[in-house]
C-alpha cells in the first residue's frame, strides 16, 4: 500500500507528515486512557523502530514522533487502532476514581458524552471537557461543552473557548443527573446546529444570538 493510501485509510489527523519522509502517528487513547497492554506496545514500537520518544498532547493523546516513511505501515500495524474514532474531542480528568477532590466520575461521564456526541453532526468542530470537581482540570469552562461535578450532580456549561478570543462558558444548568445533563447538552446542540453558520464555533454563536436564546431553546421548547 502506498503511503498516501495508508494515510487516507486512517482516521483524520492520525498521521501527520513532518517533512523529508518523516511522520508522526497518534495512538488511540480515549479520554487519555492507556492500558498496560497498549503501553507495552507503544514502548516496543519506540524501541524497535528507534524513535526519539513520545509526546503527550494537550488533548490527552500519545503522539509517536520521528517515524520514517519506510517504517510507517509496520508501525501502524503494530500499534493497532490509531487516531480518534469519535467525531468530537472530549477531555476528562480522573474525577473520583483517583483524585481526592473528585465529586463525580468524570471518566465514565466523559465516555458517555463521547458516545453521545458521536451520534451528532455539527456545523463546526466541538471540544468538550468533563471535570470531576470545580477545580476544572479538564478545562470545562473554556470548552464548547463543559461538565463540572459537584456533590449534588453536574453543572452544564455551553459556549466556552480557549482560542485567540477566549470566552468563559455560560452555565446552562446545575445539580443535574448525568442523564439530565446529556439531554440538556443535546437540546443546546440541536439549537446550535439549526442556527449556527458553517464553521461557527459555539462561543461565537452564543455571542451572536445571545445566551438567553440558547437557554430558552433548551428549557422553553
Q: Let me know: does 55 contact 106? Beta carbons within 8 Å.
A: no
Q: pLDDT above 70 covers what percent of the chain?
A: 98
Q: What is the mean pLDDT of residues 171-200?
A: 97
Q: What is the mean pLDDT of residues 83-99?
A: 84
Provide the edge-to-edge strand list for the sheet that holds 127-131: 89-92, 127-131, 145-150, 153-158, 170-176
Q: Give the least confident one: 58-72, 103-117, 150-164.
A: 58-72
Q: Let me know: does 93 contact 138? Beta carbons within 8 Å.
A: yes
What values do phi and psi take at 38, rounded to 5? -65, -40
The predicted-structure confidence for 190-217, as pLDDT tens digits, reads as follows 999 999 999 999 999 999 999 999 999 9
Residue 84's pLDDT band (cuts 50, 70, 90)? low
Q: Tell me the C-alpha distance between 87 and 76, whole Å.
A: 21
Alpha-carbon distances of 58 from 3, 136, 173, rounded to whole Å: 27, 15, 27
What values do phi and psi take at 112, rounded to 5? -65, -40
Residue 9's pLDDT band (cuts 50, 70, 90)? confident
Report the DSSP pairing between strands 127-131 and 145-150.
Answer: parallel
- CB-neighbour burial class of residue 65 (10 A; exposed 0-12, middle 13-18, buried 19+): middle
Cell of 98: 483517583
Helices (H), the chain: 3-9, 36-48, 72-79, 106-117, 178-195, 202-209, 211-219
Q: Give the least confident one: 86-90, 138-142, 153-157, 203-207.
A: 86-90
Domain boundaries, the chain: 3-79, 89-219
Residue 101 scores a pLDDT above 70: yes
Residue 83 scores a pLDDT above 90: no
The predicted-structure confidence for 11-63, as pLDDT tens digits, reads as follows 877 888 888 899 998 887 777 778 898 889 999 999 999 998 888 877 777 88
Higher pLDDT, 21 or 181: 181
| Bridge partners, 154 (sequence order) | 149, 176
Fold of 89-219: Sulfite Reductase Hemoprotein; domain 1 (3.30.413)
* CATH architecture, domain 3-79: 2-Layer Sandwich (3.30)
Q: Tell me the C-alpha distance between 19 and 166, whole Å.
A: 32
Amino acid at each position: 500500500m502506498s503511503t498516501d493510501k495508508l494515510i487516507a485509510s486512517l482516521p483524520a489527523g492520525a498521521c501527520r507528515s513532518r517533512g523529508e519522509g518523516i511522520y508522526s502517528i497518534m495512538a488511540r487513547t480515549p479520554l487519555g486512557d492507556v492500558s498496560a497492554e497498549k503501553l507495552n506496545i507503544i514502548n516496543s514500537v519506540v524501541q524497535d523502530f528507534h524513535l526519539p520518544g513520545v509526546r503527550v498532547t494537550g488533548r490527552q493523546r500519545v503522539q509517536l514522533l520521528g517515524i520514517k516513511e519506510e517504517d510507517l505501515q509496520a508501525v501502524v500495524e503494530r500499534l493497532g487502532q490509531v487516531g480518534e474514532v469519535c467525531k468530537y474531542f472530549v477531555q476528562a480528568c480522573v474525577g473520583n476514581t483517583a483524585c481526592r477532590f473528585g465529586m463525580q466520575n468524570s471518566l465514565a461521564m466523559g465516555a458517555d458524552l463521547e458516545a453521545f456526541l458521536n451520534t451528532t453532526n455539527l456545523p463546526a468542530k466541538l471540544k468538550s471537557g468533563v471535570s470531576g470537581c470545580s477545580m476544572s482540570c479538564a478545562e470545562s469552562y473554556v470548552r464548547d461543552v463543559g461538565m463540572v461535578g459537584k456533590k449534588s450532580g453536574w453543572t452544564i456549561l455551553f459556549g466556552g473557548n480557549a482560542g485567540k478570543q477566549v470566552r468563559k462558558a455560560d452555565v446552562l444548568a446545575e445539580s443535574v443527573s448525568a442523564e439530565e445533563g446529556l439531554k440538556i447538552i443535546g437540546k443546546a446542540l440541536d439549537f446550535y446546529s439549526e442556527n449556527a453558520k458553517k464553521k461557527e464555533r459555539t462561543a461565537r454563536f452564543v455571542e451572536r444570538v445571545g445566551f438567553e436564546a440558547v437557554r430558552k431553546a433548551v428549557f422553553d421548547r
